[in-house]
């Protein structure tokens, strides 16, 4: 039995929904659409949404649909944020309009085009704050930025999520190296 799918989704004030083959969620921050698979129904009971499945063969889609709908409701009402830190001598980022320019120790700066719906603020050239209403898109953009220079396990330099715990590896020393 899906425990995630059974939880009702509270509807904040100012959020409107339209149910069809897609769940259209509209709020103060924007508009999102969530696909509703066959065998899953969405019912509105007062100030909450209930996700109901027609049979046990739809159990996997039950929890998935509920999670996607809850993310859409939270996204259009409050939005999501993701923070990244850039660690390393000379590593920094500058943003001009929709283009972020990363200097990450390569021979050239890396230009990163921000997709529509994602905004970026830069603090002190080494701390990025990404905001958006689509949780999936926001996470993918943050992962793509992190992949430009993943954290090095030996020097701990690179682009990392704020609060990400890294295990520093010990490099090999000259005395124990075989020749």
pLDDT tens-digit series, residues 25-68: 998 988 999 999 888 888 888 889 888 888 888 888 888 999 99
Asked if residue 142 has pLDDT above 70, the reply is: yes
In a domain, 167, yes or no: no
The pLDDT score that the predictor gives to residue 113 is 92
Task: Identify whether residues 73 and 87 lie together within a single domain.
Answer: no
pLDDT tens-digit series, residues 96-136: 989 999 998 889 999 999 999 899 999 888 899 999 999 99
The pLDDT score that the predictor gives to residue 56 is 86
The pLDDT score that the predictor gives to residue 179 is 56
Task: Identify whether residues 69 and 86 lie together within a single domain.
Answer: no
CA distance 142 to 93: 14
Task: Identify whether residues 104 and 134 lie together within a single domain.
Answer: yes
> 130 pairs with which residues across the strands?
82, 120
The pLDDT score that the predictor gives to residue 131 is 93
CA distance 89 to 86: 10
CA distance 8 to 31: 21
- Give the residue numbers spanning the domain of 84: 80-161
The pLDDT score that the predictor gives to residue 156 is 84
pLDDT tens-digit series, residues 60-87: 888 899 999 999 999 999 999 999 999 8
The pLDDT score that the predictor gives to residue 178 is 56
Task: Identify whether residues 62 and 112 lie together within a single domain.
Answer: no
Domain count, the chain: 2
In a domain, 175, yes or no: no
The pLDDT score that the predictor gives to residue 47 is 87
CA distance 15 to 13: 6
Looking at 7-102, list the stretches that DSSP marks H as alpha helix, in order from N- to C-terminal side: 59-77
In a domain, 168, yes or no: no
Task: Identify whether residues 73 and 84 lie together within a single domain.
Answer: no
In a domain, 172, yes or no: no
Residue 46: give its domain's CATH number. 3.90.930.12
Mean pLDDT of 162-171: 84
In a domain, 68, yes or no: yes
Task: Identify whether residues 88 and 157 lie together within a single domain.
Answer: yes
Task: Identify whether residues 85 and 49 lie together within a single domain.
Answer: no
Location of structure tokens 């696909």: 35
Domain boundary among 44, 77, 110: 77
Computed from CA positions of residues 166, 153, 138, 132, in that sequence, does the dihedral angle turn out positive or negative? positive
In a domain, 174, yes or no: no
In a domain, 118, yes or no: yes
Contact, 7 vs 65, CB < 8 A? no
Task: Identify whether residues 52 and 71 lie together within a single domain.
Answer: yes
């Amino acid at each position: 039995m899906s425990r995630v799918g059974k939880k009702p989704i509270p509807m904040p004030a100012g959020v409107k929904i339209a149910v069809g083959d897609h769940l259209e969620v509209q709020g103060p921050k924007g508009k999102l659409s969530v696909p509703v698979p066959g065998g899953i129904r969405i019912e509105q009971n007062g100030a909450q949404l209930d996700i109901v499945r027609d049979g046990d063969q739809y159990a996997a889609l039950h929890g998935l649909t509920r999670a996607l709908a809850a993310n859409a409701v939270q996204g259009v009402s409050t939005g999501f944020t993701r923070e990244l830190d850039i660690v390393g001598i000379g590593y920094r980022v500058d943003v001009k309009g929709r283009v972020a320019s990363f200097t990450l120790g390569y021979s050239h700066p890396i230009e990163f085009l921000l997709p529509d719906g994602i905004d970026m603020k830069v603090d002190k050239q080494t701390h990025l704050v990404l905001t958006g209403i689509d949780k999936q898109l926001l996470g993918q953009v943050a992962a793509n930025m992190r992949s430009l220079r993943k954290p090095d396990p030996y020097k701990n330099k690179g682009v990392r999520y704020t609060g990400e715990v890294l295990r520093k590896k010990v490099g090999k020393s000259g005395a124990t190296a075989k020749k």
